[in-house]
Structures are given as C-alpha cells and as structure tokens.
Amino acid sequence: MIDIIDKDSIFYENITRGIDNKLICFSEDGNKIIYNCSRTYSTSFKNPEEKVRASYFVELVLDYQYPKEKIDIEVKVERRTPDDRADIVVYEDEELKAPYLIVETKKDGISDSEFTQAIEQAFGNANSKRAQYAIVVAGNTKTAFNVAGFNSSEREKNVIADIPIKYGKAPKYKFTKGDKSKDLKIAYREDLISALKKSHSSVWQGGKLAPTTAFDEVSKLLFCKLKDEKKTKKNEHYKFQIGSHETPNEVADRVQKIYEQAKTDDPQVFKERINLSSEIIYNVVEHLQGLTLSKTDLDTKGVAFEIFMKDFFIGKMGQFFTPRPVVQFCVKMMEPKQSLRVIDPSCGSGGFLLYAMDEVRQYAEENYDDLEAFTHWHSFAEKKLFGIEINDQIARVCKMNMIIHDDGHTNVIGHDALDGLDKMQKLNSEFKENSFDLILSNPPFGATIKSKEVKYIKSFDLGKNGTSERKTQKSEILFIERCVQLAKKGTGKIAIVVPEGIMTNSSLQYVRDYILEHCELLASVSLPESAFSHFGAGIKSSLLFLRRKKDKEKLGDYTVFMAVAKQVGISSTGREEENELYSDKSESIYNQWKLYSKNKSIYKNTDNCYTIKLSEINKEGPLNAIRYIWKPTFKNKVGKITDIADIVSDKITPTSEDNEFSNFALIRMDELQNNPVRIDNVIYCLGSEIEGSLKIVKPGDILLARLGPSMLNRKIVVVPPIPQVVDYIVASPEFIVIRPKDLKDSFYITGVLRTDLMLKYMYSKTRGGTPSRYRLNEDDFKELDFPIVGDKARETKSTNFSKALTDYHKAIQDAEKKLLQSHTIIENDL
C-alpha cells in the first residue's frame, strides 16, 4: 500500500524510516497499517489522513525522541462526543495516565478554514485530557500550542515554534541556518507543489482576489522566502518563520521588512508592497517555513513551480505557457552554450530561457568542479539570457520563476517586443538587432495589430503590401520578422512555434517567401493539435528551425529535415504520453536530427522523419512537414487527374436579378450522409430562395468535398440525372467539381478518390489553420499523382464500382424495409 504514496514526498521518507525501525508495518494485502506503539494498533491505510498520522508518528519517535511505549493512537476523549478520539497522544508516564501532547492530523492540502476547525478540535481534546501541548499537522503545515499555560480561548499568544524534544522546553524558533538538526529541509517535489498550492489557496481566498493579483502576492512572499534563506547568516534564526508566542502582526511585520530590503536590492522584480492581511501572510509562512527553496535541486523546483503555475493559469493565462516537452526539444535542437547570447522575445513564464540555462548548467556540472561549474552557468544566466514579455504581470512571473531557479532574471523586461528596438535599448542597451546567437520563441497567435493603434507596422517588411503600409497584420507574422532581425547574420539560429495557417495558407505565401529569402530552413517539425490543447489553445502548429543568412548569401537547392510528431509527451487532457520529439529511443525526432546533422548525404528516412529538397518546397509553397511526408506508390501508370478530367469552377449567383425566377436543382454538402453512395436529397427551388454563389454542375460530374473532415467521411459522389426540368444544377462551393472528359470514367475516378490511399494523400495536401477547417486547394488537387489505367480497364472498373454502389444502396434499402416491418409486427402485437 505504501506504493500509492509518491516517492518524492516526506511521507514516503518517514514511513520508510518507520518500517526500517519497526515502528510501523503493513498487512500482507497492504490495506492496513499496524502501529507498534504502547499497544499494537491497526487501521485502514486507505484514508488520506492516515499517511499524515503515520509520518508524524515516526517523527515523534525518531526525531523528537518520545518513547513509542508512551504513545497511543486513537485515544477516546472523555466529556466530548461519544465517537471523538485524539489521533495521537504522547504521555509522560509509562502507565499512560498523564497526557503530555495531543496531535490532531489532517490530510495534506486542507483549506485554512478546515485547519482552523482542526485547531479547535485539538484544543478540545487537549483541554479534556488536560495535556500541556497540542499540535495540528496537515502535511507540511504544522501549528503547535502551549495549552496548559494560557486560558482556554487563547489562540495566538500560546502558539509555539515547535513542540519540545523529549519533554524539554519549547524553542523560541524552530529553524536555524547551519544547524544540522534545525536547518530547513530540502523539499521533495510533491511537498513543494503542495506547499505552493496551499499558499496560493490562502492568498486567493476562494476568489476574493483576481487570479493574477493572487499570484503576484504569492510570488512576493516566495521572493521574501528566498531572500531570507540567502541573507540569513550561519547559526542565526531564519526570519521567515513563526516563533513561539508571536502574533500574526509580528510575523507579518518581519516579512514586510525582508520584502522592503529585497526590493531595494532588486528593484526590477517588484515595486509595490505586500498587499495582504497579517493573518494571510502568517498562514503562508506556516505553509512554507519548513522548506528550503535555495537548496532544493533545480529539477525539483522547476517541475514544482511549473505545475503550480500551469494548474493556476490554465483557462486564465494558458497562452503564456509552452508545454515542457516542446520547450525541451527546441532547446536541445538549438544547443545553447555558455558563450552564446539567447533571447526569447515573447518569453511568457520563461520556459525557453530556463531550459537554456539548465542545459548550460548540466554541461558545466558534468565538466567542471563545483565552483567552476557554478561560475560557468551563473555568468551565462546573468549576462547571456534575455527575455521580453508584453504583459507586466507575466514578466514578473518570469523573473520570479528564474529567481526560483537561482538566477537569470536581470535581463527580462516588460515591453512590447514588436515596438522599436531603440525604445527597448533605453531599458536595456543589449537589445540590439543582429546580435543574438539563439532565438527561441512561441509568439502570441491570433492578435491583430492595427496601424491606427501602433506606429511600428510600417517599420516591418511584413507590415507592408508592396510599398503601402498594411492596415492590420497578425502578431505572429510580425514576430517572425522580429526574430530574424534579432539573429546574427550568417550564424544566428531561430526556433519558433508557427501556426499552421502561416505554414500552408495560399494568401500567406509572401510570409513563407520572406522566411526563405532571409533564412536557411534547417528543419520543419509538425506538431499534433493536442500539443497545446491542455493549455487552452487548440491551434495546430509547427516548429521551424532557421538560420539567418548573410546579406546576398546564396545556398542553392539545399536539403531540409522534416518530421511529423503525433505525440509530444502530453495529451490534450494533460496526461503523460509517448514523447516522439525527445526521448532515449533512436527513432525520436531529436535523435534522428542528430543522425541527419552528422551526415546528411547518407541519412535514411524513417516513418516520421525524412528529407526534402528546397526546390520541391518552392514548387508547392507550404512549409509544413506533414504535406510532403506521404506520397503513394502506384502499380499502374501515373499521371494527373487533368489527363482524364477537367476541374471546373463555373459559378452562378441564383438571387441575381437575371436568375431569381429560374428553376434550380441544389446539391448541398450538409444533405449528404457520411460515406454516401448516391445523391438522394436534391432540393428543387427558385433562385430567389438560394443564398450565395454556387457552382454549376452537370450529370456525370464528380463532387469531391474539399473540407478535410468531410473528405475523410468520403463525401465524394457522382451527380445523377435530374428527373425534373430545371434551368441549372448547382452545388455547394465546398465541392471540387471534376468533369470527366469521357462520362464512362465517372465511377472510375470516384472509386479511386474514395480509397484510403487517395484520401490520405489528398488530406496531406490540405491547407488551413485548424484541422476542422483544412481545405484541399483546386490547384493542389490538380498536381496530385493519379493512377490512369488503359481505356478498357477504366471502363471495366467504372462499371464494377457503379454496380457495387447500386448493390450496396439496394441492400441498405432492403435492410431498412425489413427493420420497418419488424417495428410494425411489434406494434401490432402491442
């Protein structure tokens, strides 16, 4: 049963110690825990409170030196409700007649109000048993009281820093720097996550503060905690803790003084004072006081702070977060080194910067001794890491995140990264064009920048249409140009997240032309739609890896690395899944990239990684990897659809004055079932009853749904003869209209298009921003390879497929008729 406890927690450590010292054990099935105290006591271990009680029982014996023979569990409390029992009682005597300490244990993560109720319960039990001390334990949050020396209603002045060790005297302060037994504990990941969440819960107050305001206030207190740990001298008591008999006002005043001094030392991070009541500051100190942030390893802090931020901001500010696996992959691909200048112009919470710093840190720790390693990566963090974030609150989150990770926040500024670089240089002179070695960015998607609101659009090449300034431009497009500007000419590399629309849409070819004109396309990696879903963003995206060219540099027809990831380590619901981007597996995209980089001429394609020539990309236009990954190999002669059919786009507007009284036969996309075998629902009406522009079609034409989901549902049909006399047969503009040069080929073409082979091939050529709106462009369709057998073979296949559709339709009709008959029989019996 102990396996259900997270190994990265104090509970697991203490319970393991208890088992080793024979203080506790478990039943064979693991469902019950057995305490070896003054008696043998067993109970279910399924209650989450039980792991807290077991953990603290072990601490009482091993750390506070109370004899297990003088400890009892689940002690009945007289003069209380019949079922009321004290969780743990420590006695002074061997006969268990003189209660000394009452322990009330609660599950980790309870609210402040629940903790207050637990205090009342502990006092009731302590007063009833006439115990001298009481303590409430809820995970790492613990509050102890001297009960005997004060009146029964006192709850402030009788707080003590900690219970006495072995019946001694309660200490004035519990935590002392440099004292092995009294120093702060290095935090386990789960314990740190829990402490952060409880701190936020105390500050947020169930929604009384705005989410970002609450996070700001928690960050200020974390800032104080870190500063106190670093500034406190050896053998001195830490100031960020609750001392014996201290009131909330006294604790809060001391924390405010830490904060004011820290602001003076580091004015970039916070400017306003802590805007919380003394009671809330006191509660947060309770949650955090026993854990060390400065000595806890960076991986633990990184994961804990990321989870804390992610859980808090998802649904509120998810756009400021890039999934950890995507960040890690981009940083690995870019290979940051201590000598390289790194910038993220849309840094959000700082993920890219932190991983770059961590990459340099790991290298230093593997290759240098402790002092050299620390100097190596700290100089990188201080002098080579840069970030820009337009949202001031998130910029502070980024700085706080980096402070938690030990440094790197000094070159993060709150500013609009698309504004003039000269303005940013007034904040930090290092923000210069053509000066950064590595640019890592997941720019904001979808925001429309308007020329009447900002002055800088005309300063961008992509902010112009020819020589004229565009009235509007998407933020992600301008960010591409800003990243290119920041990169060093000839050597600067860029890793950027780009929405699928930029990668594929015909109207944005000018953006792709700009990229290829100014950069070498090193790699394009297609991400699944689920990559960002857990963060509240469902936009299909790709990763582009670029190198900025020198002026007038010509590269010729070079090779590009392409990859398609179906899973990136985190599902749309936030669960862990296989990470195809970066893992130990040889087929991971990163490992394939390394093989490709080592020797491009002999690289062999895999199922999800391949190479392509720039000329082929230039021919088709799109940059997304999924477009080129799959091309069928046909057994028969291959040509183009245009060899045996025409793609027609004749249109008519039925509501026009000339057509409003004409008779129309209308074929709508929505009227077709999934996987239709024929068109049954033709709408006969006057032109005045039809909205929009439609395509003119004829019997024998093939209608191919060009919208991705409809195409995959095989909405591909032949226009039948129309029994009524009409002026026009029209169809939805969402169809591609294929007109066979010989009507005998209608069902041959339809049969080929409906195969899984062709559906997959056609879908790979769709364009669009989101999968639900991907469309197959007519020009792209014309360029597809298409199998063309001889005339007789086509006629035979066409006849056979037409008969198959007819037989299928008749079988369905017969089945529906029989089903209707069975309904009638049952109804008659009723």
The CATH number of residue 775's host domain is 3.90.220.20
Lowest mean pLDDT of 268-277, 302-311, 598-607, 783-792, name the range: 302-311
Q: Is residue 181 part of a domain?
A: no
Identify whether the C-beta of residue 580 lies closer than 8 Å to the C-beta of residue 607: no
Q: How many domains does the chain have?
A: 4
pLDDT surpasses 50 at 315: no
* CATH code, 575: 3.40.50.150
Residue 535's pLDDT is what? 55
Residue 468's pLDDT is what? 93
Same domain, 687 and 601: no
Query: What is the dihedral sign for C-alpha 292, 294, 300, 305?
Result: positive
Q: Is residue 820 part of a domain?
A: no
Q: Is residue 497 part of a domain?
A: yes
Same domain, 211 and 350: no
Question: What percent of the chain is predicted at pLDDT more than 70?
Answer: 96
Q: Is residue 827 part of a domain?
A: no
Same domain, 163 and 198: no
Residue 405's pLDDT is what? 77
Same domain, 278 and 314: no
Query: Position of tokens 């970002």?
Result: 212
Same domain, 239 and 317: no
C-alpha span between 223 and 263 (Å, rounded): 9
Which residue blocks in 232-314 are alpha helix, DSSP H? Answer: 248-265, 278-288, 298-313
Q: Is residue 821 part of a domain?
A: no
> Among residues 383, 339, 333, 332, which one has the least CA distance to residue 358?
332
C-alpha span between 465 and 375 (Å, rounded): 49
Residue 318's pLDDT is what? 45
The residue among 44 and 190 whose pLDDT is bigger is 44
Residue 82's pLDDT is what? 57
Domain closes at, from 171, 204, 237: 171
Domain closes at, from 627, 654, 682: 627
Query: Position of tokens 């014309």?
Result: 782
Residue 369's pLDDT is what? 92
- Mean pLDDT, residues 169-188: 90
Beta strands in 484-640 (DSSP E): 493-499, 519-526, 541-548, 559-564, 568-570, 576-579, 609-613, 638-640
Same domain, 790 and 758: yes
Same domain, 62 and 132: yes
Query: Position of tokens 């599950």?
Result: 107
Q: Which two tokens stand for residue 35?
A: 């305490």
Question: What percent of the chain is predicted at pLDDT more than 90?
Answer: 65
The residue among 772 and 823 whose pLDDT is bigger is 823
**What are the residues facing 590 on neighbouring strands?**
none
Residue 538's pLDDT is what? 63
**What are the residues facing 664 on neighbouring strands?**
685, 728
* pLDDT tens-place string over residues 478-517: 999 999 999 999 999 999 999 988 999 999 999 999 999 9
- Mean pLDDT, residues 379-400: 87
Same domain, 417 and 537: yes
C-alpha span between 515 and 622 (Å, rounded): 12
Average pLDDT, the chain: 90
Same domain, 531 and 587: yes
Residue 266's pLDDT is what? 74
* CATH code, 152: 3.90.1570
pLDDT class for 80, splitting at 50, 70, 90? low
Which residue blocks in 611-663 are alpha helix, DSSP H? Answer: 614-620
pLDDT surpasses 70 at 22: yes
pLDDT class for 444, splitting at 50, 70, 90? confident
pTM of the model: 0.80
pLDDT surpasses 60 at 138: yes
Alpha-carbon distances of 88 from 48, 115, 118, 298, rounded to whole Å: 16, 17, 14, 36
Angle at 166 between CA 162 and CA 171, to 5 degrees: 30
pLDDT class for 3, splitting at 50, 70, 90? low
Q: How far is residue 129 CA from its own chain's centroid?
A: 52
Identify whether the C-beta of residue 291 lies closer than 8 Å to the C-beta of residue 228: no
Q: Is residue 762 part of a domain?
A: yes
Q: Is residue 219 part of a domain?
A: yes
Alpha-carbon distances of 392 from 29, 446, 456, 474, rounded to whole Å: 54, 20, 20, 21
Domain closes at, from 569, 604, 627: 627
**What are the residues facing 594 on neighbouring strands?**
none
AA identity, residue 125: N
* 3-class secondary-structure state, position 704: strand
C-alpha span between 737 and 648 (Å, rounded): 6
Residue 774's pLDDT is what? 87
pLDDT class for 21, splitting at 50, 70, 90? very high
Lowest mean pLDDT of 183-197, 566-580, 670-684, name the range: 566-580
HSE at residue 5, side-chain half, CA atoms within 13 A, is: 29
Other residues' Cβ atoms within 10 Å of the Cβ of residue 709: 14
Cβ within 8 Å of residue 636, ≥6 positions away? 787, 788, 789
Same domain, 122 and 245: no
Residue-range definition of the domain harbouring residue 677: 638-811
Highest mean pLDDT pick, 53-57, 532-536, 668-672? 53-57
* pLDDT tens-place string over residues 659-679: 999 999 999 998 898 888 889
Beta strands in 259-376 (DSSP E): 291-292, 342-344
pLDDT class for 4, splitting at 50, 70, 90? low
Same domain, 644 and 623: no
AA identity, residue 343: I
* pLDDT tens-place string over residues 507-524: 999 999 999 999 999 999
Q: Is residue 578 part of a domain?
A: yes
C-alpha span between 51 and 31 (Å, rounded): 12
Same domain, 492 and 621: yes
Residue 773's pLDDT is what? 81
Query: What is the dihedral sign for C-alpha 163, 165, 168, 174?
Result: negative
